[in-house]
Structure 1
Amino acid sequence: MSTPTALNKRGTKVHLDGYTFDSQKEANFYVRFVKNSGLHYEIHPRYVLSPLTQVGSVKVSQIAYTPDFVVYNNKNISHAYDVKNSFGAYGIDASVKLRFKLFLLNEGIPVEAVVVRQHDFKTIAQGITKQLSEKQPLVCNNIRYNWIEATNL
């Protein structure tokens, strides 16, 4: 079931399996690639990237990031996915890129921006210097891959 929300003006929330997804594309990624992968995963876990900080007499608000999916290999994060409509500036703006870099610095693994297609998905690891370009992303048909080996980094 989908319901429109003020927070998600470009789409509707999708409710499935007790989860609330931000878009139909995100729900499709879950159903097609995450749900039956056999891997442990979390949906929308929240990470504090920079805590609330006191600077002199003022407080600086915290910076948090919530990936769409985090997939684990044993207890280690193997993938942090953020489903996007595109890899361009419209899909990944400067503030999103900053959160992706902070996530990489805190967790030791980059966020993989994902564009879901009919039979597979395209992904680019964000915030690293030797990443694939939006014209040459990694194309996958499942989430059981090692992004470092797959991209020869």
Structure 2
Amino acid sequence: MFDSQKEADFYQRFVRDSGYEFDVHPRFVLEKAGTMTAITYKPDFVIYDRNGRILHVYDVKSSLDGRYGADPAAKLRFNLFQRRFKKAVEVVVPRKNDFKMRIFGLSKNVNTRRVTTKGKVQFYDIMQNLDYDPAKFF
């Protein structure tokens, strides 16, 4: 059911008992291509609010940047998804008691500023549950 242990961990700690309805790996068509293959995206989790509207679109990664994070192709899919469905993809990295979350593709950086040990600046927020409104980041 899950593509990685990180996905399974995120599901067990944050999605399963959240009280929200959700889908695992739903398929979205980003661009129909006539005779060509359509461009699609399958986020890891889609969480719905109490009225059945999409609240969160999660893509679980091992890191926010670098080799195990979102590669350029993934960032392009996130951008296309946001343009088509008007919902940002939240890239998450599960940790022991919380998860790091970053939204890619925004016109300005709105996430909290953190500095890594290598002196490289990263932007992300720390979340402890799914009870937040991603619209406040826009």
The match for 2:56 among 67, 79, 96 is 79
Describe the SS at the equivalent of 1:124: strand
Aligned to 1:14: none
Per the normalisation by structure 1, the TM-score is 0.78
CA distance in 2, matches of 1:47, 1:71: 14
Per the normalisation by structure 2, the TM-score is 0.86
The match for 2:103 among 106, 122, 125 is 125
Structure scoring higher RCO (CA < 8 A, sep ≥ 6) equals 2
CA distance in 1, matches of 2:66, 2:84: 24
CA distance in 1, matches of 2:66, 2:2: 22
Deviation at 1:64, TM superposition (A): 0.3
Q: Which moved more, 1:139-148 or 1:77-86?
A: 139-148
Aligned to 1:24: 5
Deviation at 1:127, TM superposition (A): 1.6
Give 1:57-96 correspondences, 5 Å limit. 59-73=35-49, 74-90=51-67, 91-96=69-74
Runs of 5+ unmatched residues, structure 1:
1-19, 54-58
Aligned to 1:45: 26
Give 1:94-113 correspondences, 5 Å limit. 94-113=72-91
Aligned CA-pair RMSD: 1.5
CA distance in 2, matches of 1:35, 1:129: 32
Query: Any idea what the Cα deviations from partners look like across 1:73-120, whole Å, max 9, x if unmatched?
Result: 122111000000111142111110110001101111110000111110
Alignment length (residue pairs): 127
2:101 maps to 1:114: no
